[in-house]
Amino acid sequence: MNVLVIGANGQIGQHVISKLKISEKHNPIAMVRKKDQQLKFEKEGVQTVLVDLEGSIDHIVEAAKETDAIVFTAGSGGHTGADKTMMIDLDGAIKSMKAAKRAGVKRFIIVSAIGIHKWHENNHPGWMDRTPYYSAAKYYADLWLENSGLDYTIIRPGGLVNEQGTGKIQLGNDLEMASIPREDVATTIVAALEHDNTIGKAFDLTTGQTQIEEGIKSL
Amino acid sequence: MNVLVIGANGQIGQHVISKLKISEKHNPIAMVRKKDQQLKFEKEGVQTVLVDLEGSIDHIVEAAKETDAIVFTAGSGGHTGADKTMMIDLDGAIKSMKAAKRAGVKRFIIVSAIGIHKWHENNHPGWMDRTPYYSAAKYYADLWLENSGLDYTIIRPGGLVNEQGTGKIQLGNDLEMASIPREDVATTIVAALEHDNTIGKAFDLTTGQTQIEEGIKSL
């Protein structure tokens, strides 16, 4: 399965590429924005495409052709200004979904954030009010995906940390805020790609007690 | 007809309030964010509600109850940062649409901008690339409205100027960029409220050769 990873140079993206590379079932294609990022991946033997998410949808469609699935993990993580959040987390994500449809790629996995689906509820998590643009951008991107007709999975991890993965997770619709290593998010993404019962599902994800594969299968 | 004007203190909003006030058919309710704006309208004998679009949807629902139509003309016009654009033009607009549905208000008129529907097309107007956040925010808000099930009208004026209204407009799906006085946009909004053939329509709007009422009726 050829998997286009949008945001391949991001912190989660790099883990996803590594895990797809060592898997026997997948061939990752790293979609990146900068020439130096492209060269880095090519040196590692990873296929690449150079596309700016702020450019024409046509370029994303071109990149998506010949692929079987898209993983969208580009974005600011709430740590850049509202401008980048608007153009990447919201507009870039939705342009990628439109491109998937035009390219005939059904499978689409997006990395969201814990609790995002509750953005318009009064009891949404407190962190959202500290990054309201990010919350709004992710909220609308996730909603678009749910209504896109694509075979989606929406993964909403808790606080991302760089510790080595534990391989153990907790999944749910309404988890308490807790952290999770980026590596475990990447492993969860790859597991979701391999288990079609995750199609049409959205879930919060934190570190927990369940083996990733087992958790994903039980969704 | 009680008309809730969201963004009543804005430059178009003030014209809308004035025109609704002198009309015999309508009672405007000015939705504003600040206490001093509220006092200003109350001194003029205009009914008001104090609601922050960045707050809970519940407050907008409360404001929308007992009204028959909503005019949404809040927003940055592309002249503020991406943060305000995200929170008002996008999130504030969509929260207002959700509130309309919850309050049982069917009629919803939004002020958009010329060409916004072409944002994802390669031939979109050049000005959009100079205010990409604004373009994206308005694009998604308009799309949401079209799919909301509300009795919508989307008015996409050209370059807004403060000259006195000419009373004459041009309407179309794909007009060349041209200017239009804010007063004429306001008159067009009021005409749209009065002519139900505008329900389910979206159009560009510039200064032209046709009387506003005549143009609106011919849609």
Give residue-wise pLDDT tens across range A155-179.
Answer: 999 999 999 999 999 999 999 999 9
Q: Which of B133, B134, B139, B152 is catalytic?
A: B134
Candidates B140, B146, B147: best to mutate against A (most CBs of A within 10 A) is B140
Neighboring chain A residues of B91 at a CB cutoff of 8 Å: 132, 136
Cβ distance A82 to B120 less than 8 Å, yes or no, reads no
Candidates B88, B91, B94, B97: best to mutate against A (most CBs of A within 10 A) is B91
B133 annotated active-site: no
3-state helix, strand, coil in chain A (%, to 5): 45, 25, 35
The SS3 of residue A58 is helix
Tens-digit pLDDT profile for residues B9-29: 999 999 999 999 999 899 999
Lowest mean pLDDT among A76-85, A92-101, B91-100, B110-119: A76-85
**ipTM of the prediction:** 0.91
Cβ distance A82 to B133 less than 8 Å, yes or no, reads yes
| pLDDT attached to residue B76 | 74
Query: Chain B residue with minimal CA distance to A55?
Result: B122
How is residue A211 written in tokens?
Answer: 């083996």
What CA–CA distance (Å, rounded) separates A177 from A171? 12
Lowest mean pLDDT among A9-13, A199-203, B126-130: B126-130
What CA–CA distance (Å, rounded) separates A36 from A75? 18
Enter the pTM of the model: 0.94
The helix or strand, by DSSP H or E, that contains position A94, with its residue range, turns out to be: helix A93-103
- The alpha carbon of residue B86 is apart from the nearest alpha carbon of chain A, in Å, by 6
Alpha carbon dihedral B165, B166, B168, B172, in 10-degree steps, equals: -50
pLDDT at A140 over 90: yes
Which residues of B fall below an 8 Å CB-CB distance to A? 54, 56-58, 81-83, 85-87, 90-91, 94-95, 98, 120, 122, 132-133, 136-137, 140
- The alpha carbon of residue A55 is apart from the nearest alpha carbon of chain B, in Å, by 9
Nearest Cβ partner of A86 from B98, B120, B136? B136
